[in-house]
Chain A
Amino acid sequence: MDNLEKYRSKAVPKFMHTSSYDQVPFSNDYGSTQDFPAFGTDDFANNPEPRCPVILLLDTSGSMRGTPIQELNAGVELFRDELLADALASKRVEVAIVGFGPVQVIQDFVTADYFNPPKLRAEADTPLGAAIETALDLLQSRKDTYKANGIAYYRPWVFLITDGGPTDHWQTAARRVKEGESKKSFAFFSIGVEGARIDILAQISTRTPLKLKELRFRDLFQWLSSSLKSVSRSTPGDEVPLLNPATPDGWASV
């Protein structure tokens, strides 16, 4: 049985026999489109794809200098490539990058086909609190844009990666993260690179912070892109199960 046949025979709608009309049972040769008159339409509403926004909140402070920032850059590039390789994810996933410090929107929201990963440079201190607030503001304004344009969207993700501890006031940001998580305004993930203040991350994020093993940024972004592919494919009501990255083979530990 070739694929098409399998497709058709599986799709035979037996259930339609609920009607009191005596229907001709569909047989296996049902698949031939020649047997039926033309019916349908070629005119569809031209609705844009629903969007799946993700913000990468990346530590670009001085302590990331050297191999860490290089690996992070390579990870972001891989992330773009993985999204591009997926027909749906490339149209639905929108990426923004907020770097700290200093806090700056390095990349506003774009779909993968317009995403040209910038070279991140490591400099300055770690104003984590201000960076989170900038990211959440950016996210809110993106949601407003979606709403104004009638574009449906998935629950946004904020993905924080840091190797240090905040050098600014972070308690307001933590409160906003907790509020947002409880209202399901977004999902906030935090990843600590070697040297990160996991104790503070745990106070900011309601999800358990993950520790990146070694400098496995590429594995991390591979996981992120495949998770986003699942989300961008999900349909109403779906709770998308994510692969646990904190397994012996995974890129993270708790």
Chain B
Amino acid sequence: MNQWRYVQAYSTGTSHYANNLPCQDRTVSKTIVDGSGQEIFLAAVADGAGSAYRSEYGAEIATKLILSKIEDYFRQGEVLANLSREIVGNWIEQISDQICELANDEGLGLREYACTLLAAVVKPTDGVFFQIGDGAIVIGTDEDYFPVFWPVTGEYVNSTYFITDKTSLKELQFKSINNQLIEDIALMSDGLQGLALQFATKTAHSPFFKPMFARLAEESNPGLSEVLNASLKNFLDSERVCNRTDDDKSLILSTCRCNLLSQPKSKEELNSNEAL
């Protein structure tokens, strides 16, 4: 049986430091097992609006809630093939309502919690993907990668759609994929779009993904790699990334490939042998 190896991290953009803003990106990911015993990978990324006062909180709630809704769905014995646009639309409405209640409690407008949301529910040959606003979901094999949706922005670079918008459901992009090999999947906020996507051709920049997925597939144990998680965070914080984007950036990478070269090493060995 295929098992998922994954990492996730988010990192404060240099422009957010300069303006004393917190990191407004959030990520969640985990694996669950469905009724047939197959492992399913779940992931979500939300990017809070820079101008909204509590948007990092909006992003945190949105990612947590969507994850729990997907889990509940499978807990009820449902299957991936039945996960429809309508169900996802209902979830988005419920999440927006819950954020609205919170806004009332805190005495703030819903706009102050504005965030994008993108999520993926995948098995190695099937997947459901949905997205409101910008950011990107990229899937593929180690041969080639492509974006599931092209990031939606308004005409201008500093405008997009948020789940808290009244018309958010109109902007919901939804895609269900069946019987197509999905070995690798990445979710990212818009802060990384300029590094990982080719805007002129509207394609994924495969060299961005290949080395990271290749390394991830070598992880000794399936599941969330604590060690690579920290490495990913360092990468997102690094100068070579920050020189190219001043926005918050978040990235989730997951692969169901396994390229174990040798016997699983202990964590200590890994650290000493492969340190930078």
- The answer to whether A and B interact is yes
Partner of A11, one of B11, B18, B157, B223: B11
How far is the CB of A107 from the nearest CB of chain B, in Å?
23
A18 to B28, CA, bound (A): 7
Assess the A19–B158 pair: CB atoms within 8 A: no
Q: Are A44 and B199 in contact (CB under 8 A)?
A: no
> Given known contacts A238-B49, A239-B51, what 4 new A-B pairs fall within 8 Å (CB)?
A44-B195, A153-B156, A154-B156, A240-B158
In the bound complex, do residue A236 and residue B232 qualify as a contact, i.e. CB atoms below 8 Å apart?
no
Q: Mark B44-63, 1 if CB is under 8 A from A, else 0.
A: 00010111100000001000
Complex-state Cα separation, A36 to B270, whole angstroms: 8
The answer, yes or no, to whether A151 is at the interface (CB within 8 Å) is: yes
Q: A15-B26, A36-B275 in contact; A154/B157 too (CB < 8 A)? A: yes
A41 contacts partner chain B, Cβ-Cβ < 8 Å: yes
Closest to B232 in A: A39
Q: Is B271 an interface position by the 8 A CB rule?
A: yes
Cβ contact within 8 Å between A34 and B276: yes
Smallest CB separation, B190 vs chain A (Å): 6
**The residue from B28, B52, B198, B209 contacting A237, defined by CB atoms under 8 A apart:** B52
The answer to whether the Cβ of A254 comes within 8 Å of any Cβ in the partner chain is: no
User: What are the residues of chain A within 8 A of B274 when measuring CB–CB?
Assistant: 37-38
A residues at B contact (CB < 8 Å): 7-8, 10-11, 13, 15-16, 18-21, 23-24, 26, 30, 33-45, 47, 50, 88, 149-155, 184, 231, 233-240
Q: Are A45 and B60 in contact (CB under 8 A)?
A: no
Task: Quote the shortest CB–CB distance from B22 to chain A (angstroms).
Answer: 8
**Contact between B228 and A37, CB atoms less than 8 A apart:** yes
What is the bound-complex CA distance between A155 and B157, given in angstroms?
Answer: 8
Assess whether A41 is in contact with B208, with CB atoms less than 8 Å apart: yes
Say how far B266's CB is from chain A's closest CB, in angstroms.
Answer: 13
Cβ–Cβ contact A36 & B238, under 8 A: no
* Given A16-B229, A45-B196: A237 and B114 interface contact (C-beta under 8 Å): yes
B238 touches A40 (CB 8 A): yes
Q: Which of B179-195 contact A (CB under 8 A)?
A: 190-191, 194-195
- Of the candidates A21, A151, A152, the one having the most CB atoms from chain B within 10 angstroms of its own CB is A152
